């Protein structure tokens, strides 16, 4: 069936490097920033430094707080609490003292350079700042200049405008005009507009009588603004008390503490002239954000290169560290509750990748991962009962006596396997078996996979469609039978999703083994026990509180749509998927859009989903992230009804999210650990599926 595709281009990927005292800064409290050519100068509360040839160096002779930086004709002017320094060739060439603090330095359209202290405005003449006009208030803290001697300054009480043949300051007080209170910073543009950063957000003033307020700019932050900087393209960089906002003609992005900044308090920004990097000053360090143009295929290659750090005995899961200073290469592999499920995601990615690229290394790793998943199915001594995971002596908590871990010996030696296996794990096992068998397996592997999956399915059938553990009791979540799903209200949440999963398991087993018995069971479940009706509603609307069922649903329905031949049942499946997609599409998760479009030809939100892949972070650390401080985020309190906390009303862009599973964290307001790296296999599955079916063209 024909469907839509997107031809993608390279997009900028953000790479953050953090600089603190340990990397050469005089202080972590970085106050002002300025580029001089390609060299970045950083003022701190204990002096001035610069970044050149990959290192931070200190300018000798400046030890007080730097309060203003300005570049003109290859010269840097550094204002401090008591002087202005002229810096040439990384050396202080001149010092001019003042009686109070320098607050800003700026140049107007005529090339004249103005300097403001807390009490006085100065103008540069013959290399010396000469007193021009005193301010009406002695607590001025911001200034800008542009055009023909257009100079604006701000004090706590008013906006000050220089004008008249005999220059004087006109005082615009909020009580007398539309000027705002709480002005923190001023920036002028070539059109005569004055951009004001205030305690409430961004204002724009035409210099005469017209004002635009934060209520008029719904894409600008409504919080305390410390600096407004223009890129040489169409971008605004807005440093605020809660982070940095990057705003251009089509999107707003937020860079917060953790993934991007050392602190919530973004105090200044400097943007390189070619817009390939920008720096953000905070009170706890300096962030360099490099923008590296990458295609999605280059991004996939990078993630693939990192998977070796997330691989343990050919299982793939996250990696733990003591804190964010420990690199991924030194992390400890997790032994997760769902080693089979997470490994299945990477196995799916490898299958699609091999079919697209013919990469033999991908095929080899896929085979190893499939064998690892099969080992879980045949390790426990209970026919058809898969283990969640296993651990060996020396690994985390081995031998701690927990009752769900059971000791056995394999060909290598002693290990403990974990029981209480859930429906999550089964979905991963069946998904992996279906796609590997169809796409990569040899005849011998197909037979091995079919026999192993047959044992799992037979175990379910023999135990009234449950997984039964070593104690003879069904595990907590692996209940799929009609007696419970249809007749017991306690299973109302699982009724639809578990019905879908069981029908999928039966169709996959029928396909892999060629045994019609399993198809007949699927038909009986659908017709006699109305599993067809059940799965129509497999997604329970829950105000986006539960995301595991979203992932399990799409992983179950993908192979089922490949194997289901009954046209009436296919109509049910497509209605069920459409219903789920309509609910899920605000998260911009590619598998839903790709699968629905693949089987219907529909014009789904493929473009937004590809943007999710483009935006997802290269840095895989699960940083602590807090969006609760953002006034621009609309809150959804609906999840509280289902025992969860408030979430964002709309999905965050992928580069702003808490970095857990790609399908989980779209609305998460606060999370992350600073002690875990997230493996990118889910991103890789979405990308390579898109490539295989032609939704993504490169």
| Last residue in a domain, options 194, 217, 240 | 217
> At 448, is the pLDDT very low, low, confident or very high (cuts 50, 70, 90)?
very high
Here the tokens at position 442 are 């040899």
Tens of pLDDT, residue by residue over 128-166, are 999 999 998 889 999 999 988 889 999 998 999 998 778
| Last residue in a domain, options 159, 183, 217 | 217
> At 178, is the pLDDT very low, low, confident or very high (cuts 50, 70, 90)?
confident
> At 24, is the pLDDT very low, low, confident or very high (cuts 50, 70, 90)?
very high
Predicted local distance difference test score (pLDDT) of residue 137: 81
| Last residue in a domain, options 217, 252, 281 | 217
pLDDT over threshold 90, residue 219 = no
Instruction: With respect to residue 628, please indicate whether it lies within any of the assigned structural domains.
Output: yes
300 and 209 part of one domain: no
Beta partners for 57? 50
Higher pLDDT, 683 or 4: 683
Cα angle vertex 325, ends 324, 328, to 5°?
Answer: 75
Tens of pLDDT, residue by residue over 482-521, are 999 999 999 999 999 999 999 999 999 999 999 999 999 9
210 and 303 part of one domain: no
Tens of pLDDT, residue by residue over 253-276, are 999 999 999 999 999 999 999 999
Q: Give the position of tokens 């542009």.
A: 146
Q: How many domains is the chain built from?
A: 2
Tens of pLDDT, residue by residue over 234-246, are 899 999 999 999 9
Over residues 462-489, the mean pLDDT reads 97
Predicted local distance difference test score (pLDDT) of residue 412: 95
Here the tokens at position 484 are 């419970």
Tens of pLDDT, residue by residue over 512-558, are 999 999 999 999 999 999 999 999 999 999 999 889 999 999 999 99
**b/e 452-466 (16+ beta carbons within 10 angstroms → b):** bbbbbbebbbebebb
CATH number at residue 168: 2.130.10.10
Instruction: With respect to residue 24, please indicate whether it lies within any of the assigned structural domains.
Output: no
- Whose CA is closest to 332, among 681, 674, 675, 684? 675
- Which residues make Cβ contacts (< 8 Å) with residue 612, sequence separation at least 6? 588, 589, 590, 653, 654, 662
Taking CA atoms, 57 is separated from 24, 52, 91, 138, 576, in Å, by 6, 8, 12, 35, 61
Here the tokens at position 188 are 């002028």
111 and 201 part of one domain: yes
Predicted local distance difference test score (pLDDT) of residue 569: 96
What is the percent of the chain where pLDDT is above 70? 100
Predicted local distance difference test score (pLDDT) of residue 344: 98
**b/e 647-665 (16+ beta carbons within 10 angstroms → b):** bbeebbbbbbbbbbbbbbb
Q: Which residues span the domain enclosing 182?
A: 98-217
Helix (H) or strand (E) holding 57: strand 55-58
Question: Environment class of residue 585 by beta-carbon count within 10 Å: exposed (0-12), middle (13-18) or buried (19+)?
Answer: middle
> Which of 38-42, 428-432, 545-549, 649-653 shows the lowest per-residue confidence on average (mean pLDDT)?
545-549
- pTM to 2 decimal places: 0.95
Over residues 672-678, the mean pLDDT reads 96
Instruction: With respect to residue 654, please indicate whether it lies within any of the assigned structural domains.
Output: yes
Q: Is 260 within 8 Å of 16 (Cβ atoms)?
A: yes
pLDDT over threshold 90, residue 217 = no
Predicted local distance difference test score (pLDDT) of residue 266: 98
Predicted local distance difference test score (pLDDT) of residue 250: 86
Instruction: With respect to residue 446, please indicate whether it lies within any of the assigned structural domains.
Output: no
Predicted local distance difference test score (pLDDT) of residue 457: 98
Instruction: With respect to residue 253, please indicate whether it lies within any of the assigned structural domains.
Output: no
Instruction: With respect to residue 537, please indicate whether it lies within any of the assigned structural domains.
Output: no
Predicted local distance difference test score (pLDDT) of residue 163: 84
Over residues 220-243, the mean pLDDT reads 96
Instruction: With respect to residue 649, please indicate whether it lies within any of the assigned structural domains.
Output: yes
Higher pLDDT, 644 or 351: 351
Instruction: With respect to residue 104, please indicate whether it lies within any of the assigned structural domains.
Output: yes
Over residues 13-35, the mean pLDDT reads 97
Predicted local distance difference test score (pLDDT) of residue 80: 98
What is the percent of the chain where pLDDT is above 90? 92
């Amino acid at each position: 069936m024909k469907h839509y595709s997107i031809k993608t281009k390279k997009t900028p990927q953000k790479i953050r490097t953090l600089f603190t005292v340990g990397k050469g800064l005089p202080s972590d409290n970085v106050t002002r920033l300025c580029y001089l050519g390609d060299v970045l100068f950083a003022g701190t509360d204990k002096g001035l430094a610069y970044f050149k040839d990959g290192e931070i160096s200190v300018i000798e002779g400046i030890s007080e707080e730097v309060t203003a930086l300005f570049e003109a004709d290859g010269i840097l002017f550094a204002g401090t609490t008591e002087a202005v320094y002229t810096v040439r060739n990384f050396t202080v060439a001149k010092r001019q003292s003042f009686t109070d603090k320098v607050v800003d330095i700026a140049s107007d359209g005529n090339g004249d350079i103005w300097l403001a202290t807390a009490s006085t405005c100065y103008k540069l003449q013959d290399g010396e700042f000469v007193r021009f006009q005193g301010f009406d208030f002695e607590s001025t803290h911001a200034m800008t200049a542009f055009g023909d001697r257009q100079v604006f300054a701000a004090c706590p009480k008013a906006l000050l405008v220089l004008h008249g043949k005999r220059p004087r300051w006109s005082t615009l007080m909020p009580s007398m005009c539309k000027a705002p209170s709480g002005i923190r910073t001023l920036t002028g543009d070539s059109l005569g507009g004055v951009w004001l950063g205030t305690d409430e957000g961004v204002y724009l003033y035409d210099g005469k009588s017209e004002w635009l307020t934060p209520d008029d700019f719904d894409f600008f932050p409504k919080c305390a603004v410390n600096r407004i900087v223009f890129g040489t393209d169409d971008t605004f960089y807005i440093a605020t008390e809660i982070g940095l906002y990057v705003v251009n003609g089509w999107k707003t992005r937020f860079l917060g503490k953790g993934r991007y900044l050392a602190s919530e308090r973004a105090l200044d920004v400097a943007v390189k002239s070619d817009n390939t990097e920008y720096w953000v000053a905070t009170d706890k360090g300096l962030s360099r954000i490099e923008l590296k143009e990458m295609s999605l295929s280059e991004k996939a290659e990078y993630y693939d290169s990192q998977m070796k750090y997330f691989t343990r005995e050919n299982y793939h899961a996250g990696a733990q560290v003591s804190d964010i200073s420990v690199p991924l290469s030194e992390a400890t592999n997790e032994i997760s509750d769902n080693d089979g499920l997470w490994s299945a995601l990477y196995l799916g990615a490898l299958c699609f990748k091999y079919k697209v690229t013919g990469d033999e290394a991908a095929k080899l790793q896929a085979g190893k991962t499939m064998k690892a998943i099969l080992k879980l199915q045949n390790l426990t001594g209970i026919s058809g009962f898969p283990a969640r995971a296993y651990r060996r002596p020396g690994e985390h908590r081995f031998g701690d006596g927990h009752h769900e871990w059971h000791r056995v010996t394999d060909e290598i030696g002693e290990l403990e396997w974990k029981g209480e296996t859930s429906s999550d794990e089964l979905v991963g096992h069946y998904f992996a078996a279906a796609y590997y068998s169809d796409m990569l397996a040899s005849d011998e592997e197909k037979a091995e996979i079919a026999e192993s999956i047959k044992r799992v399915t037979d175990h379910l059938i023999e135990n009234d469609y449950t997984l039964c553990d070593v104690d003879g009791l069904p595990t907590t979540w692996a209940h799929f039978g009609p007696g419970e799903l249809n007749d017991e209200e306690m299973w109302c949440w699982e009724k639809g999703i578990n019905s879908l999963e069981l029908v999928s398991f039966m169709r996959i087993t029928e396909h892999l083994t060629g045994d019609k018995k399993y198809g007949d069971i699927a038909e009986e479940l659908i017709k006699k026990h109305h599993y067809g009706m059940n799965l129509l509603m497999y997604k329970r609307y829950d105000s986006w509180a539960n995301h595991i069922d979203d992932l399990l649903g799409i992983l179950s329905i993908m192979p089922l749509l490949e194997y289901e031949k009954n046209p009436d049942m296919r109509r049910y499946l497509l209605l069920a998927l459409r219903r789920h997609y309509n609910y899920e599409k605000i998260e911009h998760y590619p598998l839903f859009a790709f699968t629905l479009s693949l089987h219907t030809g529909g014009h789904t939100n493929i473009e937004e989903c590809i943007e999710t892949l483009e935006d997802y972070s290269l840095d895989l650390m699960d940083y602590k992230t807090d969006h609760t401080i953002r006034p621009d985020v609309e809150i959804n309190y609906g999840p509280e009804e289902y025992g969860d906390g408030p979430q964002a009303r709309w999905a965050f862009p992928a580069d702003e999210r808490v970095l857990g599973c790609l399908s989980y964290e779209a609305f998460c307001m606060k999370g992350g650990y600073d002690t875990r790296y997230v493996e990118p296999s889910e991103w890789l599955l979405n990308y390579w599926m898109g490539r295989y079916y032609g939704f993504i063209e490169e």
